[in-house]
A and B are shown apart, each in its own frame.
Chain A
Amino acid sequence: MTPAEEAAYRARQRSRAIATAVVLGLLVVLFFAVTIAKQS
Chain B
Amino acid sequence: MASHDNIAVKEAAAGYTPVALPADWRDFVALTKPRVMWLAVFTGMAGMLAAPGHLHPVLAFVAVLCIALGAGAAGALNQYWEAGLDARMRRTANRPLPAGRMEPGEALSFGVTLGFASVLLMGLAINWLAAAILAASILFYLGIYTMWLKPRTPQNIVIGGAAGAFPPLIGWAAVTGDVSMLPVLLFALIFLWTPPHFWALALFMKTDYAAAGIPMLPVVSGQRMTRIQIALYTVPMAIAALAPWLMKLTGAIYGGTALALTAVFAVLALRVALSRTSDPALMKPERQLFAFSIFYLFALFSALIIDRTLGA
Contacts and interface: CB of A to CB of B under 8 A. Distances in A.
Interface of A: 1, 5, 8-9, 12-13, 15-16, 19, 30, 33-34, 36-38, 40
B18 A5 contact: yes
A-side interface mostly: helix
B187 to A, nearest CB: 27
Given A12-B24, A15-B25, A37 B56 contact: yes
Contact of B62 (A8, A9, A30, A40): A30
A40 B21 contact: no
B18 A40 contact: no
B15 to A, nearest CB: 14
A2 B24 CA distance: 20
A33 B22 contact: no
Contacts of A33: 58
Q: Which range contains the number of B residues in contact with the other chain?
A: 10 to 19
A34 B62 contact: yes
Contacts of B23: 16
Contacts of B259: none
Contact of A34 (B18, B21, B25, B125): B125
Interface in B231-290: none
Interface string B18-35: 110111110010000000
The 6 closest A-B pairs by CB, nearest first: A37-B58, A19-B25, A37-B56, A34-B125, A33-B58, A5-B19
Given A5-B18, A5-B19, A30-B62, A40 B56 contact: yes
B295 to A, nearest CB: 32
Contact of A37 (B18, B21, B59, B65): B59
A15 B25 CA distance: 7
Interface in B1-60: 18-19, 21-25, 28, 56-59
Interface in B275-312: none
B21 A8 contact: yes
Contacts of B28: 19
